[in-house]
Amino acid sequence: MKKRLIALLLTSLLLFIMPLAVYAGLHFVGTTSFGYGSLKATADISGFGNNTDSVVVTLSATGSNLTAMCQNKGGNRAPGQNPLSVNVNRSQTVAPGRNGSAYVNFEVSLLPSAVEAGCPNRNWTVTDLYGTLNVTLNALDTATGSQASQSFVCVVDEAHRQVTCS
């Protein structure tokens, strides 16, 4: 009877501890959002180790065959004639707050010059960039080596002026 009771207690203890072990470690909390125009990414990160002073968060974005929208001083719009590529890497170092989490915010301008975009002439400016971007957020705990990442495929829809990421 004692052996059964001890086995039951150990099993109960393991069932209680296992979910904690599954959720331990660096991870993104909630959703990551992206904005239109320039690439804007925000995220909450949690699960810092006890010895963690900082976490390095890297935003990577790549895309090819993107189209720029050009606009003249009269407000007329036309797509640029040159297909564009994007290859961006930005990093930030964040420290955990009192609650053991951190917030990270990136804003990266992806707009090329009017000449690069293939606008009709130098009197035109680039207002938007549309197409598909592959975006990755990677977080690295510098003390423990723990990592977390999120990847998205973002479609920038110029006609509806929206960004959809999945």
Rounded Cα–Cα distance for residues 34 and 40 (Å): 5
Predicted local distance difference test score (pLDDT) of residue 22:
42
Looking at 2.60.40, 1.10.3470, 2.60.120, 2.20.25, the CATH number of the domain 26-165 comes to 2.60.40
pLDDT number for residue 89: 95
d(CA 50, CA 146): 12
With 90 as the cut, is the pLDDT of residue 57 above it?
A: yes
Percent over 90 (pLDDT), the chain: 35
Q: In one letter, which amino acid is 133?
A: L
Q: Running DSSP on this structure, what letter comes out for residue 98?
A: T
Delimit the domains of the chain by residue range: 26-165
| CA separation for the pair 57, 138 (Å, rounded) | 6
Neighbours of 130 (CB within 10 A): 20
Measuring CA to CA, which residue among 11, 45, 4 is closest to residue 28?
45
What type of residue is 40? Answer: K
pLDDT digit string, tens, across residues 5-23: 444 444 444 444 444 344 4
